[in-house]
Chains A and B, each alone.
Chain A
Protein backbone atom coordinates (compact mmCIF):
# COMPACT_ATOMS: atom_id res chain seq x y z
CA UNK A 1 0.00 0.00 0.00
CA UNK A 2 1.41 3.36 -0.87
CA UNK A 3 0.55 5.04 2.39
CA UNK A 4 1.67 8.64 2.96
CA UNK A 5 4.89 8.05 4.83
CA UNK A 6 4.75 10.86 7.36
CA UNK A 7 1.11 10.43 8.40
CA UNK A 8 0.14 9.27 11.85
CA UNK A 9 -3.47 10.32 11.35
CA UNK A 10 -6.50 8.39 12.56
CA UNK A 11 -7.08 7.10 9.06
CA UNK A 12 -3.68 5.41 9.15
CA UNK A 13 -4.90 2.45 11.19
CA UNK A 14 -1.94 0.37 10.15
CA UNK A 15 0.58 2.83 11.52
CA UNK A 16 -1.25 2.55 14.82
CA UNK A 17 -0.89 -1.21 14.63
CA UNK A 18 2.84 -0.95 14.05
CA UNK A 19 3.39 1.20 17.11
CA UNK A 20 1.27 -1.18 19.14
CA UNK A 21 3.38 -4.16 18.24
CA UNK A 22 6.50 -2.46 19.62
CA UNK A 23 4.65 -1.59 22.80
CA UNK A 24 5.91 -3.66 25.77
CA UNK A 25 4.52 -3.40 29.34
CA UNK A 26 1.53 -1.09 29.62
CA UNK A 27 2.26 1.46 32.30
CA UNK A 28 -1.00 3.31 31.88
CA UNK A 29 -4.14 1.90 30.27
CA UNK A 30 -4.98 3.44 26.90
CA UNK A 31 -8.39 3.57 25.30
CA UNK A 32 -7.52 1.78 22.08
CA UNK A 33 -10.38 0.08 20.37
CA UNK A 34 -10.39 -3.69 20.74
CA UNK A 35 -11.49 -4.17 17.16
CA UNK A 36 -9.29 -6.45 15.10
CA UNK A 37 -7.00 -4.39 12.88
CA UNK A 38 -6.67 -5.49 9.28
CA UNK A 39 -3.20 -5.95 7.85
CA UNK A 40 -2.14 -4.61 4.48
CA UNK A 41 -2.22 -8.09 2.99
CA UNK A 42 -5.75 -8.73 4.27
CA UNK A 43 -6.90 -5.40 2.87
CA UNK A 44 -5.37 -6.16 -0.53
CA UNK A 45 -6.77 -9.68 -0.56
CA UNK A 46 -10.24 -8.45 0.33
CA UNK A 47 -10.29 -5.98 -2.52
CA UNK A 48 -8.81 -8.40 -5.04
CA UNK A 49 -11.54 -10.86 -4.09
CA UNK A 50 -14.19 -8.15 -4.42
CA UNK A 51 -13.24 -7.31 -7.98
CA UNK A 52 -12.60 -10.93 -8.90
CA UNK A 53 -16.27 -11.87 -8.53
CA UNK A 54 -17.06 -13.51 -11.87
CA UNK A 55 -20.55 -12.04 -12.18
CA UNK A 56 -19.73 -8.61 -10.77
CA UNK A 57 -22.19 -6.01 -11.98
CA UNK A 58 -21.62 -2.46 -13.09
CA UNK A 59 -22.93 -0.95 -9.87
CA UNK A 60 -20.61 -3.08 -7.77
CA UNK A 61 -17.66 -2.07 -9.90
CA UNK A 62 -18.49 1.61 -9.55
CA UNK A 63 -19.20 1.33 -5.86
CA UNK A 64 -15.98 -0.59 -5.28
CA UNK A 65 -13.85 1.83 -7.24
CA UNK A 66 -15.40 4.92 -5.68
CA UNK A 67 -14.92 3.50 -2.22
CA UNK A 68 -11.36 2.42 -2.95
CA UNK A 69 -10.48 5.82 -4.36
CA UNK A 70 -12.02 7.40 -1.29
CA UNK A 71 -9.43 5.75 0.93
CA UNK A 72 -6.23 7.52 1.90
CA UNK A 73 -3.99 5.28 -0.18
CA UNK A 74 -3.05 4.30 -3.73
CA UNK A 75 -4.23 0.76 -4.44
CA UNK A 76 -1.71 -2.00 -5.08
CA UNK A 77 -1.23 -3.18 -8.65
CA UNK A 78 -2.91 -6.48 -7.90
CA UNK A 79 -6.11 -4.74 -6.82
CA UNK A 80 -6.05 -2.61 -9.97
CA UNK A 81 -5.39 -5.69 -12.07
CA UNK A 82 -8.46 -7.32 -10.58
CA UNK A 83 -10.51 -4.19 -11.20
CA UNK A 84 -9.37 -3.91 -14.81
CA UNK A 85 -10.34 -7.52 -15.44
CA UNK A 86 -13.73 -6.75 -13.92
CA UNK A 87 -14.05 -3.93 -16.44
CA UNK A 88 -13.25 -6.44 -19.18
CA UNK A 89 -15.98 -8.79 -17.99
CA UNK A 90 -18.38 -5.85 -18.03
CA UNK A 91 -17.19 -4.73 -21.50
CA UNK A 92 -16.38 -1.30 -20.09
CA UNK A 93 -13.20 0.12 -21.56
CA UNK A 94 -14.04 3.67 -20.48
CA UNK A 95 -14.04 2.67 -16.81
CA UNK A 96 -10.71 0.90 -17.25
CA UNK A 97 -9.10 4.07 -18.59
CA UNK A 98 -10.84 6.07 -15.88
CA UNK A 99 -9.37 3.81 -13.20
CA UNK A 100 -5.88 4.52 -14.49
CA UNK A 101 -6.55 8.25 -14.49
CA UNK A 102 -7.93 8.04 -10.98
CA UNK A 103 -4.91 6.30 -9.49
CA UNK A 104 -2.59 8.76 -11.15
CA UNK A 105 -4.59 11.56 -9.63
CA UNK A 106 -4.61 9.75 -6.31
CA UNK A 107 -0.82 9.64 -6.18
CA UNK A 108 -0.82 13.39 -5.87
CA UNK A 109 2.66 14.88 -5.65
CA UNK A 110 4.35 11.45 -5.62
CA UNK A 111 5.12 11.29 -9.30
CA UNK A 112 6.95 7.98 -9.15
CA UNK A 113 3.94 5.90 -8.10
CA UNK A 114 2.00 5.98 -11.36
CA UNK A 115 4.86 4.90 -13.63
CA UNK A 116 5.49 1.99 -11.26
CA UNK A 117 1.84 0.98 -11.39
CA UNK A 118 1.81 1.11 -15.18
CA UNK A 119 4.99 -0.92 -15.28
CA UNK A 120 3.46 -3.57 -13.04
CA UNK A 121 0.19 -3.56 -14.96
CA UNK A 122 1.81 -3.61 -18.40
CA UNK A 123 1.18 -7.34 -19.02
CA UNK A 124 -2.48 -6.93 -18.12
CA UNK A 125 -2.84 -3.79 -20.19
CA UNK A 126 -1.38 -5.53 -23.22
CA UNK A 127 -3.44 -8.66 -22.67
CA UNK A 128 -6.73 -6.79 -22.36
CA UNK A 129 -5.85 -4.15 -24.94
CA UNK A 130 -6.30 -1.21 -22.56
CA UNK A 131 -4.57 1.99 -23.61
CA UNK A 132 -3.28 4.29 -20.92
CA UNK A 133 -4.56 7.87 -20.83
CA UNK A 134 -1.10 8.94 -21.96
CA UNK A 135 -1.31 6.72 -25.07
CA UNK A 136 -4.60 8.36 -25.97
CA UNK A 137 -3.32 11.84 -25.25
CA UNK A 138 -5.92 12.35 -22.56
CA UNK A 139 -3.52 13.34 -19.83
CA UNK A 140 -2.97 16.73 -21.41
CA UNK A 141 -5.60 19.27 -22.33
Chain B
Protein backbone atom coordinates (compact mmCIF):
# COMPACT_ATOMS: atom_id res chain seq x y z
CA UNK B 1 0.00 0.00 0.00
CA UNK B 2 2.77 2.38 0.92
CA UNK B 3 4.74 1.18 -2.12
CA UNK B 4 1.85 1.88 -4.49
CA UNK B 5 1.30 5.27 -2.90
CA UNK B 6 5.01 6.06 -3.26
CA UNK B 7 4.85 4.99 -6.90
CA UNK B 8 1.75 7.04 -7.58
CA UNK B 9 3.33 10.07 -5.90
CA UNK B 10 6.49 9.63 -7.98
CA UNK B 11 4.37 9.29 -11.08
CA UNK B 12 2.38 12.41 -10.26
CA UNK B 13 5.50 14.46 -9.53
CA UNK B 14 6.96 13.41 -12.82
CA UNK B 15 3.87 14.70 -14.58
CA UNK B 16 3.75 18.01 -12.76
CA UNK B 17 7.44 18.78 -13.19
CA UNK B 18 7.31 18.09 -16.91
CA UNK B 19 4.44 20.49 -17.54
CA UNK B 20 5.52 23.91 -18.76
CA UNK B 21 4.15 26.78 -16.72
CA UNK B 22 2.85 29.77 -18.59
CA UNK B 23 2.83 33.16 -16.96
CA UNK B 24 -0.06 33.90 -14.62
CA UNK B 25 -1.80 30.58 -14.62
CA UNK B 26 0.22 27.40 -14.75
CA UNK B 27 -0.99 24.44 -16.71
CA UNK B 28 -0.09 22.27 -13.74
CA UNK B 29 -2.45 19.37 -13.43
CA UNK B 30 -4.28 19.25 -10.12
CA UNK B 31 -3.36 16.03 -8.40
CA UNK B 32 -6.20 13.93 -7.17
CA UNK B 33 -6.17 15.05 -3.59
CA UNK B 34 -3.10 17.04 -2.77
CA UNK B 35 -4.16 20.09 -0.81
CA UNK B 36 -0.80 21.77 -1.35
CA UNK B 37 0.07 21.53 -5.05
CA UNK B 38 3.66 21.67 -6.27
CA UNK B 39 3.27 24.82 -8.28
CA UNK B 40 1.53 27.90 -6.94
CA UNK B 41 -1.30 29.22 -9.05
CA UNK B 42 0.02 32.66 -9.93
CA UNK B 43 3.63 32.35 -10.99
CA UNK B 44 4.32 35.87 -12.19
CA UNK B 45 3.40 38.29 -9.45
CA UNK B 46 2.32 41.83 -10.11
CA UNK B 47 3.89 44.66 -8.14
CA UNK B 48 0.96 44.73 -5.72
CA UNK B 49 1.27 41.00 -5.18
CA UNK B 50 5.01 41.24 -4.64
CA UNK B 51 4.58 43.90 -1.99
CA UNK B 52 1.92 41.76 -0.37
CA UNK B 53 4.32 38.86 -0.29
CA UNK B 54 6.83 41.08 1.47
CA UNK B 55 4.20 42.08 4.02
CA UNK B 56 3.50 38.39 4.57
CA UNK B 57 6.96 38.05 6.07
CA UNK B 58 5.88 40.23 8.98
CA UNK B 59 3.09 39.60 11.44
CA UNK B 60 0.02 38.10 9.85
CA UNK B 61 -2.23 39.86 12.34
CA UNK B 62 -1.55 43.12 10.51
CA UNK B 63 -2.97 41.76 7.28
CA UNK B 64 -6.54 42.62 6.44
CA UNK B 65 -9.00 39.93 5.39
CA UNK B 66 -8.80 41.06 1.77
CA UNK B 67 -5.02 40.78 1.85
CA UNK B 68 -5.22 37.30 3.32
CA UNK B 69 -7.66 36.24 0.64
CA UNK B 70 -5.39 37.78 -2.00
CA UNK B 71 -2.44 35.78 -0.66
CA UNK B 72 -4.54 32.62 -0.75
CA UNK B 73 -5.55 33.32 -4.36
CA UNK B 74 -1.92 33.77 -5.38
CA UNK B 75 -1.13 30.25 -4.24
CA UNK B 76 -4.33 28.42 -5.05
CA UNK B 77 -6.67 28.55 -7.98
CA UNK B 78 -9.79 27.41 -6.15
CA UNK B 79 -10.78 27.18 -2.52
CA UNK B 80 -12.00 23.84 -1.20
CA UNK B 81 -15.57 25.06 -1.45
CA UNK B 82 -15.12 25.95 -5.10
CA UNK B 83 -13.22 22.77 -5.83
CA UNK B 84 -15.85 20.53 -4.29
CA UNK B 85 -18.74 22.38 -5.87
CA UNK B 86 -21.02 20.08 -7.78
CA UNK B 87 -21.90 20.76 -11.37
CA UNK B 88 -25.47 21.08 -12.57
CA UNK B 89 -24.89 18.12 -14.83
CA UNK B 90 -27.47 15.97 -13.07
CA UNK B 91 -30.25 18.15 -14.46
CA UNK B 92 -29.07 17.42 -18.00
CA UNK B 93 -28.90 13.73 -17.16
CA UNK B 94 -32.50 13.60 -15.85
CA UNK B 95 -33.71 15.68 -18.78
CA UNK B 96 -31.98 13.33 -21.20
CA UNK B 97 -33.51 10.33 -19.46
CA UNK B 98 -37.04 11.71 -19.77
CA UNK B 99 -36.42 12.69 -23.36
CA UNK B 100 -35.32 9.23 -24.42
CA UNK B 101 -38.07 7.52 -22.44
CA UNK B 102 -40.52 9.80 -24.22
CA UNK B 103 -39.01 8.99 -27.60
CA UNK B 104 -39.30 5.30 -26.80
CA UNK B 105 -42.94 5.81 -25.89
CA UNK B 106 -43.61 7.40 -29.27
CA UNK B 107 -41.87 4.55 -31.01
CA UNK B 108 -43.97 2.01 -29.09
CA UNK B 109 -47.21 3.80 -29.98
CA UNK B 110 -46.24 3.99 -33.63
CA UNK B 111 -45.40 0.28 -33.59
CA UNK B 112 -48.76 -0.60 -32.11
CA UNK B 113 -50.55 1.33 -34.82
CA UNK B 114 -48.48 0.54 -37.87
CA UNK B 115 -46.50 -2.61 -37.23
CA UNK B 116 -48.53 -5.04 -35.20
CA UNK B 117 -51.54 -6.82 -36.77
CA UNK B 118 -54.87 -7.22 -35.03
CA UNK B 119 -55.12 -9.07 -31.73
CA UNK B 120 -56.48 -12.66 -32.03
CA UNK B 121 -60.27 -13.20 -31.65
CA UNK B 122 -59.69 -15.18 -28.49
CA UNK B 123 -59.29 -11.88 -26.59
CA UNK B 124 -62.81 -10.62 -27.35
CA UNK B 125 -65.20 -10.39 -24.38
CA UNK B 126 -67.73 -12.71 -25.91
CA UNK B 127 -65.10 -15.34 -26.56
CA UNK B 128 -63.70 -14.95 -23.04
CA UNK B 129 -67.11 -15.40 -21.46
CA UNK B 130 -67.61 -18.63 -23.37
CA UNK B 131 -64.09 -19.71 -22.43
CA UNK B 132 -64.69 -19.15 -18.72
CA UNK B 133 -68.00 -20.98 -18.90
CA UNK B 134 -66.29 -23.93 -20.60
CA UNK B 135 -63.58 -24.02 -17.94
CA UNK B 136 -66.19 -24.02 -15.17
CA UNK B 137 -68.13 -26.78 -16.94
CA UNK B 138 -64.92 -28.83 -17.12
CA UNK B 139 -64.35 -28.20 -13.43
CA UNK B 140 -60.86 -26.79 -13.98
CA UNK B 141 -58.90 -26.85 -10.66
CA UNK B 142 -61.98 -27.55 -8.52
CA UNK B 143 -60.16 -28.01 -5.21
CA UNK B 144 -58.16 -24.86 -4.65
CA UNK B 145 -57.99 -23.09 -8.02
CA UNK B 146 -60.28 -21.74 -10.67
CA UNK B 147 -63.55 -23.69 -10.24
CA UNK B 148 -63.13 -23.77 -6.48
CA UNK B 149 -63.89 -20.04 -6.50
CA UNK B 150 -67.17 -20.51 -8.38
CA UNK B 151 -70.37 -21.09 -6.44
CA UNK B 152 -72.18 -23.64 -8.59
CA UNK B 153 -75.42 -23.46 -6.52
CA UNK B 154 -75.95 -19.74 -6.88
CA UNK B 155 -74.15 -19.48 -10.23
CA UNK B 156 -71.89 -16.67 -9.14
CA UNK B 157 -68.31 -16.18 -7.95
CA UNK B 158 -67.78 -16.99 -4.30
CA UNK B 159 -67.45 -13.93 -2.06
Number of contacting residues on A, CB 8 A? 34
Q: For window 67-122 of chain A, which residues contact chain B by CB distance below 8 Å?
A: 67, 69-70, 88, 91-95, 97-99, 101-102, 104-105
Given the known interface contacts A101-B79, A133-B80, A138-B81, the answer about A93 and B35 at a Cβ–Cβ threshold of 8 Å is no
Q: Give the chain A neighbours of B63 by CB distance below 8 A.
A: 93, 129
Number of contacting residues on B, CB 8 A? 32
Residue from the list A61, A65, A94, A141 in contact with B74, Cβ < 8 A: A94
Q: Is B84 an interface residue (CB 8 A)?
A: yes
A-B contacts, 29 listed (Cβ < 8 Å): A10-B1, A66-B31, A66-B35, A69-B33, A69-B34, A69-B35, A70-B33, A88-B60, A91-B57, A92-B56, A93-B56, A94-B72, A95-B36, A95-B75, A97-B68, A98-B35, A98-B72, A102-B35, A105-B80, A129-B60, A129-B62, A130-B60, A131-B65, A131-B68, A137-B65, A138-B72, A138-B79, A139-B80, A141-B82
